[in-house]
Amino acid sequence: MQHVRWEAQPSADAPILVMALEGLFDIAGAATDAIVHLNDQAASRVKIATIDPEVFFDFTQQRPIVSLSSSGERELSWPANDAYELTLNGPVSSALTIAGIEPHLRWRTFAEAVGEIAQRSGARLVVTLGAMAGQAPHTRALGVVGSASDPVLAERLGLGRPSYQGPTGLVGALHVHLHEIGLAVISLRVSVPHYVTQAPNAEATRSLLARFELVTGIQTGHAGFTDAAAAWREKVDAAVASDDEMRDYVSRLERLVDNSADLLPSGDELAAQLQAWLRDNG
């Protein structure tokens, strides 16, 4: 059975695939919102493929949606994992995106479908975006943790190597499969304050996009989230101010973050190092 439905011929010239999946590793929808933003701000986009949902979802948990079209016809929308090829402004001219929903079933087969899309489209690197609840104060820029599967790439970018051992989820299975078929994987995960996980979270999305731009050189327009992030922070400030115990707790988190090192390197060299790695592996 073919699990990928191809809708357009990819140009085979998009070396980076960036993806995020709604589910356990997308607190407040921050990661999938980042992909939607990348799609919206691209110079152009073409839907090249979709992963057939039939074998991957328990539809009693993730139900399809029925709606009426403008002509009054009933339409059915199934859980979607769609791949787009973007034409971009800036030094990186193209990229692939997948934004969708984490499947319930057949994770290995789903990972193979993602690998098929990446390889047929010419991608050599997959960047996964995620958001997890953590001990992050809302009053500080939200930290982003990064790791890379390829040891040379990890050294060039100053990233860690994956070190977790134990039960894993879809994203872990996906990373292992992509590495096994020869694709490098970078994981970027933003820490969302565990006491305010409601969606949307403009600050978490802004932080992810800023780090993604720093690492890849792809212009993300993350500054467009500045006003919404400030409004989000003011709203949480007002809620915290009315609770003495919560205010003290946030102060403790602030001290913890202020005394820790940044979780990812910064500097103009990162994107150049990644482009050099892509040329070396092209």
Domain covering 4-64+78-280 assigned CATH 3.40.190.10 in the classification: no
What 3-state DSSP class applies to 114?
helix
Distance CA 140, CA 243 (A): 19
Distance CA 111, CA 65 (A): 25
**Torsions phi, psi for 132 (to 5 deg):** -130, 145
What tens-digit pLDDT sequence spans the chain (282 residues)?
A: 699 999 999 887 789 999 999 999 999 999 999 999 999 999 999 999 999 999 999 999 999 999 998 888 999 999 999 999 999 988 888 999 999 999 999 999 999 999 999 999 999 999 999 999 999 999 998 999 999 999 999 998 888 888 888 888 899 999 999 999 999 999 999 999 999 999 999 999 999 999 999 999 999 999 999 999 999 999 999 999 999 999 999 999 999 888 775 556 665 678 888 888 888 876
Sequence spans of domains, the chain? 4-64+78-280
What 3-state DSSP class applies to 83?
strand
**pTM exceeds 0.75, yes or no:** yes
Cis before 200 (ω within 30): yes
